[in-house]
Amino acid sequence: MALVHRNVVRVSALLARYNFRAYSTPAEKDIKKSVFISQSKDIFTNLALEDWLYRNFDFTNHHVLMLWQNDPCVVIGRHQNPWLEANISELTSITENGVQLARRNSGGGTVFHDQGNLNMTFFTARNHYNRKYNLEVIKRALFREYGVKLEISSREDLTLRNCKVSGTAAKLGRPSAYHHCTLLVSANKLNLSQALQKVDVGIETNATKSIKSKIINLCEEDPKIKVSSLYKVVGWEYLRTRALSIKDGGMELANQQKGFQMVNPTDLWFPGIEEIRTNLQTWNWRFGKTPKFTISRSFTVPDNLLINTDVPDDLKVTMIVEGGKIMDVNLFVPPGLVASGFTGNVNVITSLVGHRFSEEALDNLEWSLGALISDKDKFVTDCVRQVMQSV
């Protein structure tokens, strides 16, 4: 709350220069519209800009469409599990400079961005929030300029030839809200599928799961469609579409002042944005925010470690991970292994507890084992290691 007040005072003077109004009075009836074009291609900066505007800008009488692009990244929803949604261990090698992993503030599933993907954020006051209206703007823009007919699916994806071209998510607060969506224009589909590829790693969780769809790029329909042209095409369609007003309980057409604005997301323009960006980049936000989950794997114990080979011989390792950290590790040891004298290496298990669920925890595990381990302990250790390595 303190942040809001501090920033509003400092920013209002700055915005006045560009004909923006911070926290305009409720008496004003007209709704202005602006298109902000972010000059950054960095996912953390752009998510910080979105968050800054959401928290600090007054959208009561001024609606904003923010248009933005990113270098390659995977963007998971606020309540998702990155180890379940993204190919974490491969992200650094998929493209020359790697694919960033980011967690956004809105809910919903995981998407891939690169410079062949355009993002659009529609900011309004909460009582003006209308996803359908926004998607219709995009639909009309594509039809008017290129004659391309998009459909709005029941899930509010935009589709073309029954394939997805756009995914949607939203942040609804008070007094402001935003609806943001992607638009696949010429994204690298191979990188997209590699970045989101996941084999079943035995994770159980209540976290939001993504809904995989067959996707299509707009350029497959018409090679003339380029992200660089869409800034203007979508921007103008938004500005020419009359804002929805709720005056007198009905829909009213409001007056508008129109304009595009290049936005440079720095602390000078948006005091405090750097701090928001830093937080979005932390391990605590990206991984630590993951809803509680368990990861389990079963392993067949080799006959030479068992006394009785007639009974089931599966060893099961289950890790409980909360706040991205290993809270507990359970071993379910088959009777044949117990009978052979295995008691379990308690140190192996307890040394993992409290550590981040990552390769780091694996290193710690190996270190704590030391050089001398019995075959049975080694088998168990290998099983635990495989659980760690599978994500």
Site string for ligand LAQ, 68-87 (x = CB under 6 A): -------x------------
Q: How far apart are CA 111 and CA 169, in angstroms?
A: 11
- Nearest CB to ligand LAQ, comparing residues 62 and 171: 171
Least spacing, CB of residue 378 vs ligand LAQ, in Å? 39
Number of residues that this document lists for the chain: 391
Q: Is 334 in the site for ligand LAQ (CB under 6 A)?
A: no
* Piece in contact with ligand LAQ (CB under 6 A), picked from 124-132, 135-143, 206-214, 351-359: 206-214
Residue 225 in contact with ligand LAQ, rule: CB under 6 A = no
- Is the CB of residue 322 less than 8 Å from the CB of residue 377? no
Binder of ligand LAQ out of 180, 286, 289, 376 (CB under 6 A): 180
> Which member of 82, 108, 235, 272 binds ligand LAQ (CB under 6 A)?
108
Q: How far is the CB of 68 from ligand LAQ (least distance, A)?
A: 8
Q: Tell whether residue 358 is a contact of ligand LAQ (CB under 6 A).
A: no
In 3-state terms, what secondary structure has residue 305? helix
What spatial distance separates the first Cα and last Cα of the chain, rounded to whole Å? 38
Tell the smallest beta-carbon distance from residue 108 to ligand LAQ (Å).
4
What's the token pair of residue 214? 């067959």
CB of 357 to ligand LAQ, least distance (A): 23
Does 164 contact ligand LAQ by CB under 6 A? yes
- What phi and psi values does residue 122 have, to the nearest 5 degrees? -100, 110
What are 283's two structure tokens?
């391990």
Binding ligand LAQ (rule: CB under 6 A), the pick from 95, 153, 213, 381 is 213
For the record, the structure tokens of 84 come out as 């379940």
Gap between the Cα atoms of 58 and 123, Å rounded:
10
CA pair distance 304, 297, nearest whole angstrom: 21
Q: Is 211 in the site for ligand LAQ (CB under 6 A)?
A: yes
Q: Which of 56, 69, 182, 281 binds ligand LAQ (CB under 6 A)?
A: 182
Pairwise CA distance, residues 195 & 114, whole Å = 11
**Using alpha carbons only, how large is the chain's radius of gyration in Å?**
26
Task: Establish if 181 lies at the interface with ligand LAQ (CB under 6 A).
Answer: yes
Of positions 210, 217, 281, 351, contacts ligand LAQ by CB under 6 A: 210
The answer to the question of residue 184 lying near ligand LAQ (CB under 6 A) is yes
By CB under 6 A, is residue 116 in contact with ligand LAQ? Answer: no
Q: 183 to each of 95, 195, 218, 265, how far by Cα in Å?
A: 21, 18, 8, 22
Q: Quickly list DSSP for 210-256.
A: P----B--HHHH-TT--HHHHHHHHHHHHHHSPPEE-GGGS-EEPP-
Q: What track of x and - describes contact with ligand LAQ for positions 227 through 256 (by CB under 6 A)? A: ------------------------------
Tell me if 288 sits within 8 A of 322, measured CB to CB. Answer: no
Place of tokens 């140190």: 347
- CB 88, min distance to ligand LAQ, A: 15
**297 part of the interface to ligand LAQ, by CB under 6 A:** no
List contacts with ligand LAQ (CB under 6 A): 75, 104, 108-113, 117, 119, 164, 166-169, 180-182, 184, 192, 196, 210-213, 215
